[in-house]
Each structure stands twice: as C-alpha cells, then as structure tokens.
Amino acid sequence: MIPFTAVERLVAETRHATLEAVDAEHFDVYTGALFDRLAPLEARFLAEHLGAAPTEA
C-alpha cells in the first residue's frame, strides 16, 4: 500500500487533483451509501476537467 502522506503530497503538487478520503475498503465505493456520496463528486470532477456535463441516470 502507498502511505497516505505520499498521496497527500502528490495531490498538493498536482494542478488538477482532488482528494476525498474515505474510511472504506477498495470495493466499498462501488455500492450503497458510499457510492451515492462519491459518484456525484467524481461526475463533477470529470465535468470540470473534461468539459462534459454530468447526466442523471
């Protein structure tokens, strides 16, 4: 595993990086309440940096 401090340092040095820390296992983000919380954040990030508007499913 990568030390979290290394991730924080990389995010601080990267122009278009966003860090959202969650207390979860790797696959926990793909279902349930955690997915519901993170999916809009990812969609917004992609829309901002790729120029695409998020759509409703």
Averaged confidence pLDDT in the chain: 89
Mean pLDDT score, 1-17: 92
- Give the mean model confidence (pLDDT) for residues 1-21: 91
Give residue-wise pLDDT tens across range 26-35: 899 999 999 9
- Half-sphere exposure of residue 34, counting CA atoms within 13 Å on the CB side? 12
The model carries a pTM of 0.68
pLDDT of residue 54: 63
Identify the residue whose tokens are 């793909």.
30
Q: Say what the pLDDT of residue 49 is.
A: 85
pLDDT tens digits for 46-57? 888 888 766 665
Nearest residue to 19 (alpha-carbon basis) of 1, 38, 33, 2: 38
The tokens 């349930």 sit on which residue?
32
Q: What angle do CA 28, 52, 12 make, to 5 degrees?
A: 60
